[in-house]
Structure 1
Amino acid sequence: MHGNQHPPQYGYAQPYPQTVIVQKKGGGCLRGVLIGAAVLAGLVVVGGILGGSSGRSTGSEDTTVTEASAPTKEQTEQKRTEQRRPGIGDPAKDGKFSFKVTKIEKGVERVGGEYLGSDAQGQYVLVHVTVKNIGDEAQLFSDSSQKLIDTRGRQYDADSGAAALGLKNSNAFLNNINPGNAVSGILLFDVPKEFRIKAIELHDSAFSGGVTVALSN
């Protein structure tokens, strides 16, 4: 043996074959990487094309659905008719009572006589109403359960004292109505002079849901 040479039994491989093998493996890996990169780039391009096409298709479908769901003029008018509130002369039901507003008086400054009456703080609005009991037992009709509404959505209570003092036939203060019977009453409200009437909310009791009757022109 000379120098650094070792006998074959020690398992040392020859350097040249090992170097060739590494070069071959390195070349194979490089080709694999290049091929993989090319495939990935192709998939990205295809995915972008498909994605753009899908987005355009979705937008078209959304537009179609929106146009199909838009209500027609006839449907809009029908909905407005269904949602239309009862007005003067129309029956309006709440609980055991069926109401019908028959007349509105505005700008009344005083109710009652010279010695027994009441002056308005602003102006009196008188709402003439017919109340019928459509239930199967007696029900108390009270003006204190009714609300007058202006165009700004503000609510006004009835003036029971002025009505009792100045309206002999108001029939709106604690009037007990039997089933099938009807009474004509007057609801009296003291409101500002610049008051603009919109509606009245009528109740068969203080705890009922109420029904709104439109009073504005």
Structure 2
Amino acid sequence: MHGNQQPQQYGYAPSHPHTVIVQKRGGGCLRAVLIGAAVLAVLVVAGTLLGRGGGTSTGSGGTTTAQATDTSDQADKPVETDKPVEAEKPGIGDTVKDGKFSFKVTKVETGVKRVGGEYVGSDAQGQYVLVHITVKNIGDEAQLFSDSSQKLIDVKNREYDTDSGAAALNLKNSNAFLNTINPGNTVRGILLFDVPTSFKSKAVELHDSPFSDGVEVSLR
């Protein structure tokens, strides 16, 4: 070598073994710590999400099972209705009873304008409704049957009285006016009602006396 001539470089610097080793170890540990922290954070988040999912089932399987259970519970419950089912009321041709009498409505005539003959008769204010009935005494003693105890009912539940005077004068074949019936006997009568032309019948209410509860026969 000459005087101040520098030593020739061969492509590497003087090494410091201890310093290099410390830097490599320190960097590896830091990365390991960071990676470990990241993995731990992911596990914590995943565990939280799984925990929430277990608390409130949102899977289709869980929902389907709950619905099936609810349907089964509802199937076991009796069906409730707001209104009780009413028994069908007796109608024309049916035999009904009230007190000592049994009744049967055999026919109903509507729209009759006049009853009686050409010279002696009665004209309806609106129209006459004629309810043909048979009455039987099913009691143990005589009972008076009166047409004035019977009621005609329209679709608005309004009650109409018989026209007893017109019936007594003009319905010669009727025994419905103040007729005493002995036990076991049957009579035929016609109940005569004077009602408006717009009248729509619902039922006739039949009584063995003015004080009995009566029984309804549907005319519809």
Bin of the TM-score, shorter chain as denominator length: 0.5 to 0.7
1:183 maps to a residue whose letter is: V
When normalised by structure 2's length, the TM-score is 0.63
Q: Counterpart in 1 of 2:107? A: 103
2:150 maps to a residue whose letter is: Q
Gaps of 5+ in 1: 1-59
SS class of match (2:77)? helix
**Are residues 1:118 and 2:122 paired?**
yes
More helix by share: 1
Question: C-alpha separation between the residues in 2 aligned to 1:155 and 1:176?
Answer: 25
Q: Counterpart in 2 of 1:168? A: 172
2:112 maps to a residue whose letter is: V
Equivalenced residues, count:
149
CA deviation vs aligned residue, 1:30-81 (integer Å, no higher than 9, x gap)? xxxxxxxxxxxxxxxxxxxxxxxxxxxxxx99x9599623269xxx8xx55x
Gaps of 5+ in 2: 1-68
Question: C-alpha separation between the residues in 1 aligned to 2:75 and 2:148?
Answer: 48
**Are residues 1:88 and 2:97 paired?**
no
Q: CA deviation at 1:206?
A: 0.2
Determine which structure has more spread, i.e. the larger CA radius of gyration: 2
When normalised by structure 1's length, the TM-score is 0.64
* Identity over aligned pairs, percent: 71
Q: 1:197 aligns with which of 191, 195, 201?
A: 201
SS class of match (1:162)? helix
2:77 maps to a residue whose letter is: A
Q: Counterpart in 2 of 1:70? A: 79
Over the aligned positions, Cα root-mean-square deviation in angstroms equals 2.3
- Divergent runs of 4+, >6 A: none
Q: 1:214 aligns with which of 201, 206, 218?
A: 218
Question: C-alpha separation between the residues in 2 aligned to 1:98 and 1:68?
Answer: 43
Q: Counterpart in 2 of 1:48? A: none
Question: C-alpha separation between the residues in 2 aligned to 1:158 and 1:67?
Answer: 54
